[in-house]
Amino acid sequence: MTAIVVFIDQVDAPGKLHPIHHQLLTLARGAGEPVAVVAGPVGAELAAELGSYGVARVVHSGQAELADYLVAPKAELVAQAAAAVSAAAVLVDNSPQGKEIAARVGVALNAGVITDAVGVSNDGGALVAHKSVLAGSWTVDARATTAVSVISVKAHSVDAAPAPGAAVAAVERLEVAFSPASLGARITKRTPRESSGRPELEDARIVVAGGRGLDGDFGPVEELADVLGAAVGASRAATDAGWISHAAQVGQTGKKVSPQLYISVGISGAIQQKAGMQTSKVIVAVNKDSESPVFEIADFGIVGDLFKVLPQAVEEIKRRRA
């Protein structure tokens, strides 16, 4: 069977797999033999979790350069590991770092790179990536024409499932030969962000997003999000104003989300905002201006004052659950 490399970053948060890794391993299993390439330590717990997803072969490096310099050393690890196991494909997550690792692995292996895949299928041994382009207005199928395909995959491209029979993961250490040029951008400080305790935007089934209409008070949006178990998003106007972390921004230069339900509150619906949310299954909009462009794409729209509509909806949900 052909080896399919899945990159797993354990540098910042070692010990466990992230849901995206479960998804990537599930995809890899459908395409060949999954090989986990791990930056950072591989403890017994992680090895067992990898085994349960069908990984028999783990290649890892804990070299300090992987943590000390931006992106390039991790890309060299992945490229050298992929060459060592003669991989037919490399799958990485679609974070900025994931895409950049894909980009550099493409250069190192002279391999075609496809980013932002929302699905990957196997066409007689060749991987076909499905992606949505032009701010979600088109969908395309793309494939690499090279011996190796490098694909960065968005969350929820597949339902993750453990392997029918667990494998025993054999862990090999790889001594990466770093090129001097890859040790040029040093990470001199790391400041962890505070966690909101709410679901992450890209993982959430429901997103409630607020804009300039909130006028500095995200309370109504957070209360609705919490009764729905939703993630909180925002327009750039709201993040630029400092009402909420930039990490919550949805849109062209923020997160691109496609949840089951997106509730847009006090957001006008500019093209750059739509670019991050118009592939959502169901869109609900609350805005006091009936002319707002967001109503052109809303499945259910309420022309009204968010400070009245949202608290009433929260009360009603609580009442029905009581």
Ligand X SMILES: Cc1cc2nc3c(=O)[nH]c(=O)nc-3n(C[C@H](O)[C@H](O)[C@H](O)COP(=O)(O)OP(=O)(O)OC[C@H]3O[C@@H](n4cnc5c(N)ncnc54)[C@H](O)[C@@H]3O)c2cc1C
Residue in 15, 161, 282, 289 binding other proteins, rule: CB under 8 A: 282
Contact between 289 and ligand X per CB under 6 A: yes
DSSP summary character for residue 37 = E
> Among other proteins, ligand X, none, what does residue 226 contact (CB within 5–8 Å per kind)?
none
Residue in 251, 279, 280, 283 binding ligand X, rule: CB under 6 A: 251
Contact between 146 and other proteins per CB under 8 A: yes
Q: Can you tell me whether residue 118 is helix, strand or coil?
A: strand
> Among ligand X, other proteins, none, what does residue 48 contact (CB within 5–8 Å per kind)?
none
Smaller CB separation from other proteins, 95 or 122: 95
CB within 8 A of 284, min separation 6: which ones?
261, 262, 263, 264, 298, 299, 300, 301, 302
Smaller CB separation from other proteins, 167 or 297: 297
Contact between 241 and other proteins per CB under 8 A: no
Residue in 175, 188, 242, 322 binding other proteins, rule: CB under 8 A: 188
Strand residues in 211-259 grouped as ranges (E):
231-234
Contact between 289 and other proteins per CB under 8 A: no
Residue in 254, 259, 280, 301 binding ligand X, rule: CB under 6 A: 254
CB within 8 A of 153, min separation 6: which ones?
20, 23, 24, 27, 91, 92, 93, 94, 117, 120, 129
Residue in 44, 165, 177, 320 binding other proteins, rule: CB under 8 A: 320
Indicate the pairing of strand 300-303 with strand 112-123.
unpaired
Minimum gap (Å) between residue 277 Cβ and other proteins: 11
| Size of the chain in residues | 322
178: tokens are: 């770093």
